[in-house]
């Protein structure tokens, strides 16, 4: 699931590109014609809003799993990022039927939220980040999952494939988030990180260090990858973390951010003799960010509590947007994945 469409939206011709890419993503996700049309409608609205309200921005389209780890099916994820002035009244903008002008033909954000499987946004003085997921099943679960994962994965220089990948699986009380950065970038790197994601589905019942040990032979035919594994025991309220190679990890807990450090090595090539494991309590406000080294190591974690309770994919995309700038562009594929206790998803 490393195929990504990263489309800059600075003039109206790009709205069509966004629609066409979303239809292609819908086919990859095996959505039917109706749900693909829904995805295209939401993508068109988000792209149009970038032009109308933010002076342009960027639409990142990719396939993701369900935000509730373990729930079946794939979804098309649409991430709209901008550096505009922000939405002055988010609640009003999300009301169904709300438009900023009578002449607008736009569906409105309220419609986007209603027709998407999940929809959430964060708007502040640095701009707006919106994330819509459109799966085959339009119905939201009646009970919100207690823990959610989400992420965004962007290839270097708008390539088609990211060499990074992330995934989450659930096995009993064990919820595991994995992020892998294949050596180099492009399709060969994607093969390595994809192998890690694939193998995780078979070994999600194991502890993080054991998972990494199983990934090593699975990745041997590939270039190898840096991989970090974080596992939350949802009953014990404990997080276990282990990483091999350069994957960044920060844990927000009790109002402060802590670094979780990976061990040097390459899964699939040079596996360390011992893999240090870190165990930490998971608190109600705990939030974990894993990221590849495409994100500058000096990135500043967000403090706004208004952001930290959003959909994990909104948090991941906001971190990605705010960590890079025109003056210091990213030099590699960049993937950010977030694990959080269940914030509101979709309808409030």
Instruction: Determine the 3-state secondary structure of 275 from DSSP.
Output: coil
Nearer to Mn ion, 45 or 181 (CB): 181
Q: Which is nearer to Mn ion, 170 or 185 (CB)?
A: 185
Q: Which is nearer to Mn ion, 145 or 194 (CB)?
A: 194
DSSP state of 267: B
* Closer by beta carbon to Mn ion, 120 or else 332: 332
How far apart (Å, rounded) are the C-alpha atoms in residues 180 and 203? 15
Least spacing, CB of residue 129 vs Mn ion, in Å:
23
Task: Report the site for Mn ion in 323-342 (rule: CB under 5 A).
Answer: 332-333
User: Contact, 84 vs 100, CB < 8 A?
Assistant: no
165 and 153 in contact (C-beta within 8 Å)?
A: yes
Asked if 128 and 119 touch (Cβ cutoff 8 Å), the reply is no
**Residue 162 CB, nearest approach to Mn ion (Å):** 8
Rg (CA), the chain: 19
Q: Please give the C-alpha separations between residue 205 and each of 158, 278, 340, in angstroms, as whole numbers.
A: 35, 18, 20
Q: How many CB atoms lie within 10 A of CB 210?
A: 15
What sign does the CA torsion over 81, 84, 85, 89 have?
Answer: negative
Among candidate residues 124, 123, 120, the one with its CA nearest the CA of residue 109? 120
Choice between 311 and 333, CB closer to Mn ion: 333
User: How many chain residues are in contact with Mn ion, going by CB under 5 A?
Assistant: 4
CA distances in angstroms from 41 to 26, 65, 276, listed in the order given: 12, 21, 47
Minimum CB separation of residue 335 from Mn ion in Å reads 8
- Tell me whether residue 108 or residue 151 sits nearer to Mn ion (CB atom): 151
Closest CB 246 distance from Mn ion, rounded Å = 9
User: Which residue lies nearest Mn ion, judged by its C-beta?
Assistant: 181
Please state, in angstroms and rounded to a whole number, the distance separating the CA atoms of residues 332 and 209.
Answer: 27
Residue 226 CB, nearest distance to Mn ion (Å)?
8
Please say which residue, 149 or 153, places its beta carbon nearer to Mn ion.
153
Structure tokens at 234: 């949802």
Applying CB under 5 A, which of residues 57, 69, 135, 163 lies at the interface with Mn ion? 163
DSSP 8-state symbol, 245: S
The nearer residue to Mn ion, 78 or 189, going by C-beta atoms, is 189
As a whole number of angstroms, the distance between CA 73 and CA 258 comes to: 33
191/333 with CB nearer Mn ion: 333
Instruction: Mark the segment that binds Mn ion (CB under 5 A) among 17-25, 72-80, 158-166, 302-310.
Output: 158-166
Minimum CB distance to Mn ion, residue 125 (Å): 32
Q: At closest approach, how far in Å is the CB of 292 from Mn ion?
A: 6
DSSP 161: B
Q: Least Å distance between CB 243 and Mn ion?
A: 14
Min dist CB 158 to Mn ion, Å, is 15
User: Is residue 346 close enough to count as binding Mn ion by CB under 5 A?
Assistant: no
Stretch 37-56 residues interacting with Mn ion (CB under 5 A)? none
Give the closest residue to 320 by CA, choosing from 338, 340, 333, 334: 334
Binding positions for Mn ion, 168-227, rule CB under 5 A: 181
Distance CA 177, CA 155 (A): 20
Binding site for Mn ion (CB under 5 A): 163, 181, 332-333
């Amino acid at each position: 699931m490393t195929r990504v469409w990263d489309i800059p939206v600075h003039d109206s011709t790009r709205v069509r590109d966004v629609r066409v890419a979303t239809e292609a993503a819908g086919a990859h996700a095996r959505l039917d014609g109706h749900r693909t049309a829904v995805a295209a409608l939401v993508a068109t609205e988000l792209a149009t809003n970038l032009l109308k309200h933010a002076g342009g921005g960027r639409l990142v389209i990719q396939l993701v799993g369900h935000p509730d780890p373990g729930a079946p099916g794939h979804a098309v994820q649409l991430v709209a990022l901008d550096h505009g002035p922000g939405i002055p009244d988010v609640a009003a903008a999300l009301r169904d039927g709300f438009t900023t002008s009578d002449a607008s033909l736009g569906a409105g954000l309220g419609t986007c939220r209603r027709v998407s499987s999940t929809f959430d946004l964060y708007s502040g003085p640095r701009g707006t980040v919106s994330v819509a997921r459109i799966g085959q099943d339009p119905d939201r679960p009646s009970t919100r999952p207690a823990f959610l994962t989400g992420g965004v994965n962007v290839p270097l220089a708008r390539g088609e494939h990211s060499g990074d990948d992330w995934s989450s699986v659930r096995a009993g009380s064990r919820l595991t988030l994995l992020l892998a950065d294949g050596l180099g970038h492009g399709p060969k790197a994607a093969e390595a990180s994809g192998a890690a994601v694939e193998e995780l589905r078979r070994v999600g019942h194991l502890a993080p260090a054991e998972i990494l040990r199983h990934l090593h032979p699975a990745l041997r035919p590939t270039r190898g990858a840096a991989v970090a594994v974080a596992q939350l025991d949802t009953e014990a309220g404990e997080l276990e973390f282990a990483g091999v190679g350069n994957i960044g990890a920060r844990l927000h807990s009790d109002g402060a951010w802590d670094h979780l450090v990976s061990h040097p090595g390459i899964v699939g090539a040079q596996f360390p003799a011992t893999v240090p494991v870190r165990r930490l309590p998971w608190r109600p406000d705990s939030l974990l960010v894993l990221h590849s080294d495409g994100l500058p190591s000096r990135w500043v974690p967000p403090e706004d509590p208004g952001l930290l309770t959003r959909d994990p994919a909104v948090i991941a995309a906001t971190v990605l947007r705010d960590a890079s700038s025109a003056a210091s562009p990213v030099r590699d594929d960049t993937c950010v994945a977030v694990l959080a206790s269940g914030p509101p998803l979709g309808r409030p």
